[in-house]
Amino acid sequence: MALSASGEDRRTPRAGLQERFENLLAQNKASLARLATSYTRSRSDRDDLLQEIAMGLWQALPNFREECSERTFLFRIAHNRCITYISRRRSTEPLDEHEDALSDPAPTVESRIDADQRSQRLMRAVRKLPLHYHQVVVLALEGMDYRETSAVLGISESNVGVRLNRARALLKAALGEST
């Protein structure tokens, strides 16, 4: 931080905004990549969506009123960009065609292959969920609690719980698990 002789921050407001923007993206890079992957079919689509999320954050950050955490604010923007992305997508390409493997460092090749297959299977099942269930599952997988998910989606906390329970039941059925 550049301080003047009087101890004041000499950075321009834009420089502070740039630093805040870069820090937010860096701190949430992996979570945003997983979120974008859950809404896209290919790596290039994911990268495009991540770019749109970054652009949305840059545009909205100056208006952040700190009524929620920065992470919740970021995921609200990401959620909105994902919804816009899927509403524009008109392709009839099957979801499984360009499946991206979710990386999970594992001690052995066999366990990594097994984990990758389970992750791919789960992501296929999540992608097939109705959108309102898909959203709560993806945010839950990112470690968001009911309050944060409620703020991101603009629904009540009890509605988050209901949607998450129903989504879990649908996922269990889709994955052939007994309850």
Query: Which ranges of the chain have pLDDT less than 50?
Result: 1-11, 91-106, 179
| Interhelix angle 70-88/43-60, nearest 10 degrees | 130
> What CATH number is given for 106-179 in this structure?
1.10.10.10
Per-residue model confidence as pLDDT tens digits over 125-173: 999 999 999 999 999 988 999 999 999 999 999 999 999 999 999 999 9
Question: Do 25 and 32 form a contact (C-beta atoms < 8 A)?
Answer: yes
pLDDT at res. 164: 95
| Segments making up each domain of the chain, as ranges | 13-90, 106-179
pTM above 0.75, yes or no: no
**CATH architecture under which domain 13-90 falls:** Orthogonal Bundle (1.10)
Residues 6+ apart with CB under 8 A from 26: none
* Intrachain domains 13-90 and 106-179 with the same fold: no
CA distance 131 to 3: 48
- Cα–Cα distances in angstroms (integers) from residue 133 to residues 30, 57, 166, 167, in the given order: 22, 24, 8, 5
